[in-house]
Amino acid sequence: MRSRDNGVFAVIDLGTNTCLLLVASLVNGKLTTLFEAQETPRIGKGIYDTHRISNEGFEKAREIFEKYKRFSNEYNVKEIYAFGTSALRDADNSDEFVDYIKSKTGINVKVISGNEEAECAYLGAVYDLPEDDYAVIDIGGGSTEISCHESGLLINESVNIGSVRLTEMFFQNGYSGEAILRALEFIIEHLDRLPLSAKGKSLVGVAGTLTTLSAIRLELKEFDIGKVHGDLVTLSEVSEITERLIGLNEQERLSIGSYMKGRSDIIVSGALILRELMKKLESGSVKISARGLRYGLMLKLDAFSKSS
């Protein structure tokens, strides 16, 4: 294997709402986690109106990248790889943002496609799960991805519905019945584009909406990855939690647990997407994976290195 396939690496996953860091050793395709971190800069804030990442988004991302670079250097990483998803795909000033981060931190951000995001979310989600016929869903801030095998091939789809996008489009003034109906129409319209071949498969969910709903189901006050990873959440539980969250105000949602910070205003949107997606796939439950995209990106470093 090439030298970049073996050693300690850092992967930064910059999404619409969150920015995640994974530092891991990678030896012959075997991944061992050394350190993880999460921040919520929400660089996608306002992007669906302005089509631009704001100056505030630039600065928040820079600060986090500088912090993550310091963390990574403590582990003597061979290289830091950074990837951008939906917000950077949508923003008119995406190239300007990438150049800015490179000039300030020395870190190059590669913007990946929706299909690449779906594939890597799948690889990360099932990495440590028993072999099965899985469909993996990744509900992000700006987009939702689903991946599954069909006739021996991995089918990846990405649609432009996400928790931040939905909140900014429909819920700026709260969760009225009319707003919820309009949001549901939007969700269902987009879900019609997803592959029906995912029906009947074991459903695995990654990303913040899924892990947050699991933490709520488990009545956690502090996030516990050991309890959330592998948790099984039923459709009826998703529906019950969604209705409960709709009935709470912002402060009440924040008081559920520390993990609601940076997510309390978008969790209802994410929960609505999950509920409708599970109905669409006729799935009675979803297994939660706390791995997801950043793990798949780490496992695919060789492919991304060759394409960069």
- The pLDDT value recorded for residue 302 is 64
pLDDT for res 128: 80
- Distance, C-alpha 35 to centroid of its chain: 18
Q: Answer for the pair 58, 72: CB distance below 8 angstroms, yes or no.
A: no
Could you tell me if 26 and 301 are in contact, meaning their C-beta atoms sit under 8 angstroms apart? yes
Pairing of strands 202-206, 285-288: parallel
pLDDT tens digits, 162-216: 999 999 999 999 999 999 999 999 999 998 877 666 677 889 999 989 999 999 9
Q: Closest Cα partner for 210 from 149, 165, 163?
A: 163
CB atoms within 10 A of CB 308: 8
- Two tokens, residue 77: 């990483």
Q: What is the pLDDT of residue 197?
A: 67
Mean of the per-residue pLDDT values for the chain? 90
- Could you tell me if 7 and 25 are in contact, meaning their C-beta atoms sit under 8 angstroms apart? yes
> Is residue 284 over pLDDT 90?
yes
In whole angstroms, give the CA distance from residue 116 to residue 299: 13
Which is the CATH superfamily of the domain at 3-114?
A: ATPase, nucleotide binding domain (3.30.420.40)
What pLDDT sits at residue 136?
A: 92
Average pLDDT over residues 252-257: 95
Q: What is the pLDDT of residue 303?
A: 57
Q: What is the pLDDT of residues 81-93, one digit of tens each?
A: 999 998 999 999 9
Question: Residue range 5-20: average pLDDT?
Answer: 91
Measured CA to CA, the distance from residue 299 to residue 186 in angstroms comes to 34
pLDDT of res. 223: 92
The helix (run of H) or strand (run of E) holding residue 55 is helix 55-73
Does 3.30.420.150 match the CATH number of domain 129-288? Answer: yes
Share of the chain above pLDDT 70, in %: 94
Please tell me which residue, 262 or 108, carries the higher pLDDT value: 108
Mean pLDDT of 234-262: 95
How far, in Å, CA of 72 to CA of 168, rounded?
34
CA distance readout (Å), 241 to 125, 134, 275: 23, 24, 10
Per-residue confidence (pLDDT) for residue 4, from 0 to 100: 52
Q: Are 223 and 156 in contact (CB under 8 A)?
A: no
What band does 273 get if pLDDT is binned at 50, 70 and 90?
Answer: very high
pLDDT band per the 50, 70, 90 thresholds, residue 133: confident
Give 91-131 pLDDT, tens digit per residue.
999 999 999 999 999 999 999 998 899 899 999 998 888 77
| Per-residue pLDDT at 139 | 94
What is the per-residue pLDDT for 3?
Answer: 42
Span(s) in the chain for CATH 3.30.420.150:
129-288
pLDDT value, residue 222? 92
The model's pLDDT over 13-70, given as tens digits with 9 standing for 90+, comes to 999 999 999 999 988 878 899 999 999 999 999 998 899 999 999 999 999 999 999 9
What is the average pLDDT across 148-156? 78
pLDDT for res 304: 56
- Domain(s) labelled CATH 3.30.420.40 in the chain stretch across 3-114
Task: Please give the pLDDT value at position 2.
Answer: 41
65 closest CA partner among 29, 13, 115: 13
